[in-house]
């Protein structure tokens, strides 16, 4: 019993120290990735931190978990429902976290859970927050790459952004994120001509960022 008590005390102190570090604005997310993957207690604490009010703790925890979901997505796959619930939050930062992590987890979605939330996820392309919409448009490409069965459908969703998103003044900027998504899986898609035509049209975009993205894309793929 005694060694177990010592072990629990050590874990508590370690977690406490990590939480203190997460309060620092100069915290380096990469420093905690390996430990988060190997230590379930720390991983769970980071997930819980996503709902904390303290912006710095939430932001740093998000950055660590984003890296974890890229390097070792199966570790976070059991938390799928938690991240789905973030999509329904009134807090746009929560929505963005859900959008990003779920896109990464689609790589290991052997149970096809994403198919059940497809509409809820893609409906955020018409969110009131440009931050939410732009992040969604940028992450659809990961899902299209990871889910060949949805690739054509998701491609059409991106191509139809003018019909999907109704805030006219923001469409040009959001199309930069659409191009990012196409870049993610362009080599995997069979019918490339429609995407090329879409990106070609962005050379006349009112958004300097979108115009630059279009130029880079066409230089790489056309």
At CB < 8 A and 24+ separation, what contacts does 186-192 make?
186/217, 186/221, 188/144, 188/145, 188/148, 188/151, 189/144, 189/151, 189/152, 189/155, 192/221
The confidence score (pLDDT) of residue 47 equals: 97
Q: Is the pLDDT of residue 176 over 90?
A: yes
How far is Cα 52 from Cα 213, in angstroms, rounded to an integer? 35
- Residue identified by tokens 């963005």 is 96
Question: Of 8-12, 43-47, 140-144, 154-158, where does mean pLDDT reach its minimum?
Answer: 8-12
Q: Is the pLDDT of residue 12 over 60?
A: no
How far is Cα 108 from Cα 91, in angstroms, rounded to an integer? 27
The confidence score (pLDDT) of residue 104 equals: 98
The mean per-residue pLDDT over the stretch 33-49 comes to 94
State pTM to two decimals.
Answer: 0.91
What share of the chain in percent tops pLDDT 70? Answer: 92
The tens digit of pLDDT for each residue in 50-72 reads 999 999 999 999 999 999 999 99
Q: Is the pLDDT of residue 7 over 50?
A: no
The mean per-residue pLDDT over the stretch 154-178 comes to 89
What are the boundaries of each domain within the chain? Answer: 106-222
């Amino acid at each position: 019993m005694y060694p177990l008590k010592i072990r629990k005390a050590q874990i508590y102190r370690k977690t406490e120290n990590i939480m203190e570090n997460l309060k620092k604005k100069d915290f380096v997310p990469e420093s905690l990735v390996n430990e988060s993957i190997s230590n379930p207690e720390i991983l769970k604490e980071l997930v819980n931190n996503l709902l904390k009010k303290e912006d710095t703790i939430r932001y740093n925890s998000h950055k660590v978990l984003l890296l974890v979901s890229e390097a070792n997505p199966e570790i976070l796959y059991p938390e799928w429902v938690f991240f789905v619930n973030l999509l329904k939050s009134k807090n746009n930062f929560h929505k963005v976290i859900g959008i990003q992590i779920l896109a990464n987890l689609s790589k290991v979605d052997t149970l096809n859970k994403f198919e059940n939330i497809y509409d809820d996820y893609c409906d955020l392309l018409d969110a009131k927050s440009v931050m939410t919409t732009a992040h969604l448009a940028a992450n659809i490409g990961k899902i299209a790459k990871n889910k060949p069965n949805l690739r054509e459908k998701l491609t059409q969703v991106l191509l139809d952004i003018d019909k999907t998103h109704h805030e006219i003044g923001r469409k040009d900027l959001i199309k930069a994120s659409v191009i990012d998504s196409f870049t993610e899986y362009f080599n995997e898609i069979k019918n490339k001509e429609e995407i090329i035509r879409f990106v070609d049209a962005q050379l006349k975009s009112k958004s300097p960022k979108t115009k630059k993205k279009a130029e880079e894309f066409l230089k790489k793929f056309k």
